Amino acid sequence: MLLGLLYLYPRFTLTTSLAVSVLILIFGGWLLADQIQWAQDRFRSSESERSALSRLPVYYASFRMFQAKPMLGWGYANFDQFDRRFQGRVADLPNDNKDHASHNLYLTTAAEQGLLGLGLFLGPMFWLLFLSLKAFPECQ
């Protein structure tokens, strides 16, 4: 969106972006200092790394579930019922034997609903993108 605005209104977009950036630098570091410090501590902790890496077997299970039933998937809201069968060891990560949620909308949709559901889910977005690109030369 910002690239489109920059293309259509270069001067306005640059001046507005510069003003907003200055305000964010001035007030962001002062008003949100505690929140920024908390986010940095949480992001850099070993617990967050372990939490992120523990989801890799679930992502791998989503992919394998999609490979097993690519057209129609395993059924809506059935991911948690079948994902444990498809989980495997990923690299040298220890298996914690916990049932993690996928936390990835696209992989879960592909596993549960297959190509049909994924196409119906993403279809309107791509159709609107196509119509936007088709109409773009007329805007100039």
Q: What are the tens digits of pLDDT across the range 101-123? A: 888 999 999 999 999 999 999 99
Residue 99 pLDDT class (50, 70, 90 cuts): confident
What pLDDT sits at residue 139?
A: 57
pTM to 2 decimal places: 0.68
DSSP notation for the chain: -HHHHHHHSHHHHHHHHHHHHHHHHHHHHHHTHHHHHHHHHHHTSHHHHHHHHTTHHHHHHHHHHHHHSTTTTT-TT-HHHHHHHH----TTPPP---------HHHHHHHHHHHHHHHHHHHHHHHHHHHHHHHGGGG-
- 64-97 pLDDT per residue, tens: 999 999 999 999 999 989 988 998 778 777 666 6
What pLDDT sits at residue 50?
A: 78
- Residue type, position 105, single letter: L
Sign of torsion, CA 50 51 57 59?
negative
Lowest-confidence pick of 6-10, 25-29, 127-131: 25-29
- 38-61 pLDDT per residue, tens: 988 888 888 888 777 888 888 999
